[in-house]
């Protein structure tokens, strides 16, 4: 029943692939990166409000972002804002949220979603969530949402699926493939048997925690043991101890890739994970030469198909650039070929290695 449905929004990442705009002190989920007057987290929260009452939406973020999250979501209750004391990827935080929800409602089902994705067709998105929630009410399966690829892309995980005759529009997951090289991504795209992994999961909470019990028992047992302190003054202290004992692992690696009861719903609701500058370029309006520009004082000469994001008051002139990313912040200037932006991960790693943390 709908009264047993909850949502968990993941908002603790640092968005390093959007460096230098996304920084550790203010990651991309808290930024108005689309220039619409709202952060990605705010738009995601508003989208969820169309399907869930506010008291059934939980937000997971790092303790360092507590003040930012409260400022951007001023109406969220303190008990619905779950603070991670350490960065341990997604699996521990989701286990925390699910055990807390189970302590409130033993018949609960949950939608787990990132906070920094773009969804253009919100009505279709809501219909897909309701479809999935109805299925997990009656079946002990974990559903992930898959997006039909529009091109070979090495920045996404892929899902291979096969027929499932129990529910129309729901398919069994055969395998997950994490960010393949271009030749394999091309094969997947041409085959028609693969979907992009949107990172949105729907499950009955007991079903999901049963998967944790089998594949990540140390994490499951840790958060299960402290169920009596949820929504009490002792919760923060116990959660801090729990996270100190958890491995750094994603739910994809720890659960989804191992569980045998995972299904997928192919969906088309105008999705982008905004995981790269190239994906942001696709969302922006372009000029007649294909340049996507954020900044009021940008002049281009013989420049085409560039992604440009610069301060409003700064005059920036581009001459002779094709397929480049140009991003200027108060402390960092990035000039990078669009087809080489995967190197940003190495650049960020190099900055860490050289102890240039103030630029991260």
Tens of pLDDT, residue by residue over 24-48, are: 889 999 999 888 999 999 999 999 9
Measured at the alpha carbon of residue 328, what is the angle toward residues 325 and 329, in degrees to the nearest 5?
140
Residue 185 vs residues 48, 190, 192, 196, 213: alpha-carbon distances, Å = 31, 9, 11, 10, 33
CATH of 2-272, one of 3.40.50.980, 1.10.150.120, 3.90.550.10, 3.90.1640.30: 3.90.550.10
Whether pTM > 0.85 for this model: the answer is: yes
What's the rounded mean pLDDT across residues 138-167? 87
| pLDDT (mean) for 111-118 | 95
For residue 1, pLDDT beyond 70: no
Predicted confidence at residue 169, as pLDDT, reads 87
* C-alpha distances out from residue 50 to 6, 44, 75, 122, 268, Å: 12, 10, 15, 9, 18
Q: Within the chain, where are the H helices?
A: 40-49, 66-72, 90-104, 122-138, 182-191, 205-215, 217-225, 235-244, 251, 277-283, 344-353
Tell me the pLDDT tens digit for each residue of 191-208.
Answer: 888 999 999 999 999 999
Quote the pLDDT of residue 73. 97
CB 172 within 8 A of CB 162: yes
Q: Band of the pLDDT at 180, cuts 50, 70, 90?
A: confident
Domain ranges for the chain: 2-272, 277-359
Reduced to 3 states (helix: H, G, I; strand: E, B; else coil), residue 57 is strand
Give the whole-angstrom CA distance, residue 150 versus residue 196.
Answer: 9
pLDDT for 124 beyond 80? yes
Give residue 159's Cα distance to chain centre.
Answer: 16
Sign, CA dihedral 9-15-17-22, equals: positive
- Rounded Cα distance, 294 and 287, in Å: 11
Q: How confident is the model at residue 152 (pLDDT cuts 50, 70, 90)?
A: confident
- Lowest mean pLDDT: which of 93-102, 114-123, 141-150, 224-233? 224-233
Spatial CA neighbour of 175 closest among 86, 44, 264: 264
């Amino acid at each position: 029943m709908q009264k047993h449905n909850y949502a968990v929004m993941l908002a603790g990442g640092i968005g390093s692939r959007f460096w230098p705009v996304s920084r550790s002190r203010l990651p991309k989920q808290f930024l108005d990166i689309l220039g619409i007057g709202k952060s990605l987290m705010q738009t995601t929260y508003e989208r969820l409000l169309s399907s869930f009452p506010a008291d059934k939406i939980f937000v997971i973020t790092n303790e360092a972002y507590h003040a930012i999250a409260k400022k951007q979501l001023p109406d969220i209750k303190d008990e619905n804002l779950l603070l991670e004391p350490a960065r341990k990827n997604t699996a521990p935080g989701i286990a925390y949220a699910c055990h807390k929800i189970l302590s409130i409602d033993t018949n609960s089902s949950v939608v787990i979603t990132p906070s920094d994705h773009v969804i253009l067709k919100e009505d279709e998105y809501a219909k897909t969530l309701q479809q999935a929630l109805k299925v997990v009410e009656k079946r002990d399966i974990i559903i992930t949402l898959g997006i039909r690829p529009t091109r070979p892309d090495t920045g996404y995980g892929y899902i291979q699926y096969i027929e499932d005759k129990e529910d129309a529009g729901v398919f069994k997951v055969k395998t997950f493939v994490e960010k393949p090289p271009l030749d394999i991504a091309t094969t997947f795209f041409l085959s028609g048997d693969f979907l992009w992994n949107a990172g949105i999961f729907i499950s009955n909470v007991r079903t999901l925690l049963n998967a944790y019990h089998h594949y990540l028992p140390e994490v499951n047992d840790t958060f299960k043991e402290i169920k009596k302190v949820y929504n009490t003054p002792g919760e923060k202290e116990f959660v801090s101890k729990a996270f100190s004992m958890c491995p750094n692992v994603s739910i994809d690696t720890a659960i989804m890739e191992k569980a045998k009861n995972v299904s997928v719903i192919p969906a088309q609701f105008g999705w982008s994970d905004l995981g790269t500058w190239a994906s942001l370029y696709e969302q922006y309006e372009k000029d007649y030469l294909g340049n996507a520009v954020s900044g009021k004082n940008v002049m281009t000469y013989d420049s085409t198909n560039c992604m440009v994001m610069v301060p409003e008051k700064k005059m920036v002139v581009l001459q002779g650039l094709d397929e480049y990313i140009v991003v200027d912040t108060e402390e960092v200037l990035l000039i990078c070929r669009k087809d080489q932006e995967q190197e940003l991960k190495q650049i960020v790693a190099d900055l860490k290695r050289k102890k240039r943390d103030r630029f991260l």
